[in-house]
A and B are shown apart, each in its own frame.
Chain A
Amino acid sequence: MRRLSFSNGGVFLARLLVALLFLLPLLWMISTALYPAGVPLPTSIQLWPDQPTLANFSRVAELIPIGRYTLNSLVVAVLGVGLTLLTGSWAGLGMARLPQAGQRRWVVISLAVLMVPGIALWSTRFFIYEQLGWIDSLLALIAPAWMGTSPFYVLMFYRAFRRIPAAMYDAARLDGTGVLQLWWHVALPIARPTLVGVGVLAFLFYWGDFISPLLYISNPDFFTLPVALQLFQQLSRSEWALLMAAATWATFVPLMLFILVQPYFARVSDPGKRQKKRAGADRVATSHGTGR
């Protein structure tokens, strides 16, 4: 077999090409959103419109109350994330401080719940929300936060809190620190990268959730952006510039969030051998201006 050993420049080039490939769908979506309405779409490949315009966005706002839907999405995402961080980090801390056997039991329970296919819960959750009076209210969309949204997030917290040395917990306890104080003053500050990581993932989940509003919301006043996109698709089929403008609008907030927390993401994705990598990760974070 031929030996493939790239030089540093070669590796960089390969990485750049792969990254560009991953950007392509987003690029196509945004560039189409900027096409002037009424002008026929080009029949040859063209990466950027000659005369980019934002007119499509205001046209979307004229056709559907997108502001209302955006507000609903924001409320659901903010409340969902807040509650998720609360219940998820509590559960993670509770798990991390259990005896070994208890920890193992909860990890197995969490993994089992993680494996339950969502479809299996669609209709029966509907009946339960109905009993609780949550149908046709934003509560039906925020409900998963009750259990930390996903056992995956709880396990992320568990993993972070487990790394805090037991001596630190014991010292706090000897000082007479209560459980909630321990959580707020000792556990959370140390697990800040996990907090940001779970926060971002949960935000993306609540912001993009299409199935819950589809199943549990029929009053248009409580529509969120994903179902609004479906509505809009039915309204203006094949008006591609408008459709892409609406899709771009729904993607804008996650995109901004993503750029904002990008340095944190580098650290969350690097939870391995911290001691070794820490110095490098911190340097990177500082170079983006968010290190403390």
Chain B
Amino acid sequence: MFRRLPLPNFNYQTRLRLLLLPYASGIVVLVLIPAIISFGLAFFHYDGLSPPRWAGNLNFILAYTDELFNLSLQNSLALIILPIPLRVFGAFLVARLMQRNGRLINWLRATIYLPSAIPGAAYALAWLWIFNPLYGPLNLLLQSIGLVPPAWLVDPGWAKPALILMSFWQIGEGFLVSFAALQDMPPQLEDAAKIDGAGTWGILRHITLPLVAPILLLLTFRDAILSFQESFTYILLMTNGGPYYSTYTLPLFVYEQGFDLLQFGVASAALWVMYAVTGLIVVFLYIIARQWNIGTTDETFVL
């Protein structure tokens, strides 16, 4: 196979570099150009049909004075700031629990990842049923142990906690990455601490956690950015932003402005906030990666 190369007579290094061509061109067409266009589109009126017209900063005024925009931003932050660190820490704890070998260990590890393998739309419908106030299994369970269960997605006060709760079952990636990081740690460290009389929690707090902290931090950022998009699927299928806009988030605002109202300029102006937040995160990541020397130099490179 591949005995005759169809390529002209480049030297070996150049031909190796050519392997990067699809990836590089894909990034340009699918990420770089769209990102630049949407960055600039904020200054234009554009409905996707007639040619764009200059709008100055009107789109920004339209977006940022919109009450729904502010609400969507607050809701997005509320769904990210508290839950994401908890999710990552939860993933770490479960990874720690599943770390050493034992009975059925591969099946148990696979089970932790399993909910993350369920297609997003199916997962949303499943939880829509689980959260059903009358017949949903969750509330039947809570009733059977004598609690008065909330109405979850129907109650403006409980819709956000419900969305957060269901996200705790989808920590597969965090689990795998934490797990790999823990496996990279020399087991002698923990064993030595144990001999010195340190308890399970002491070892966890003073030895294990500091060693994997940089990776947990990277995971937190990645999770924060990804969850914007993931939560969109759930919110669109489960609450559509309701009840009373309590789950109306930034992606929903962008989706409605762009694909419902055909105001792509306003949608892009709203996205500038995301660019700013993402930019900050990237800078922060870079500093952290420098600090801990994560990256290309050593074997702890997991992301």
CA distance A4 to B267 in the complex (A): 53
Nearest-CB residue, chain A, relative to B274: A117
CB pair B19 A22 closer than 8 Å: no
Tell me if A39 counts as interface (CB < 8 A to partner B): no
18 extra interface residue pairs, beta carbon distance < 8 Å, beyond A4-B201, A116-B31, A126-B48: A12-B104, A15-B97, A19-B107, A29-B122, A32-B137, A45-B137, A91-B24, A94-B20, A120-B38, A179-B5, A215-B259, A244-B126, A246-B122, A254-B118, A258-B117, A265-B109, A270-B183, A273-B183
Tally A-B pairs: CB < 8 A: 325
List A residues 258-279 near B (Cβ within 8 Å). Answer: 258, 262-263, 265-266, 268-273, 277
The residues of A that contact B104 with a CB separation of less than 8 Å are 12, 16
The residues of A that contact B129 with a CB separation of less than 8 Å are 28-29, 32, 240, 243-244
Shortest Cβ gap from A163 to chain B (Å): 9
Tell me if A207 counts as interface (CB < 8 A to partner B): yes
Partner of B125, one of A128, A233, A263, A280: A233
B side interface size, CB within 8 A: 108
Q: Interface SS of chain A: helix, strand, loop or mixed?
A: helix
Q: Mark A14-31, 1 if CB is under 8 A from B, else 0.
A: 111011001101101100
19 A-B residue pairs with Cβ-Cβ distance under 8 Å, sorted by A, are A15-B102, A45-B137, A107-B301, A112-B282, A115-B281, A116-B31, A120-B274, A122-B258, A123-B254, A124-B37, A154-B23, A173-B12, A180-B5, A181-B2, A181-B3, A230-B121, A250-B121, A272-B180, A280-B101
CB pair B180 A179 closer than 8 Å: no
CB pair B119 A251 closer than 8 Å: yes
Nearest-CB residue, chain A, relative to B204: A4
CA distance A147 to B28 in the complex (A): 9
Tell me if A72 counts as interface (CB < 8 A to partner B): no
A230-B237, A233-B125, A284-B106 in contact; A148/B278 too (CB < 8 A)?
no
Tell me if A137 counts as interface (CB < 8 A to partner B): no
List residues of B whose CB falls within 8 A of some A CB: 1-3, 5, 12, 15-20, 22-27, 29-31, 33-35, 37-38, 41, 48, 94, 97-98, 101-123, 125-130, 132, 135, 137, 140-141, 144, 166, 169, 176, 179-180, 183-184, 186, 199-202, 221-222, 225, 228-229, 232-233, 236-237, 250-251, 254-255, 258-259, 264, 267-268, 271, 274-275, 278, 281-282, 285-286, 295-296, 299, 301, 303
List residues of A whose CB falls within 8 A of some B CB: 1-6, 8, 11-12, 14-16, 18-19, 22-23, 25-26, 28-29, 32, 41-45, 86-88, 90-91, 93-95, 97-98, 100, 103-104, 106-109, 111-128, 143-144, 146-148, 151-152, 154-155, 159, 173, 178-181, 183-184, 204, 207-208, 210-211, 214-215, 225-227, 229-230, 233, 240, 243-244, 246-248, 250-251, 254-255, 257-258, 262-263, 265-266, 268-273, 277, 280, 284, 288
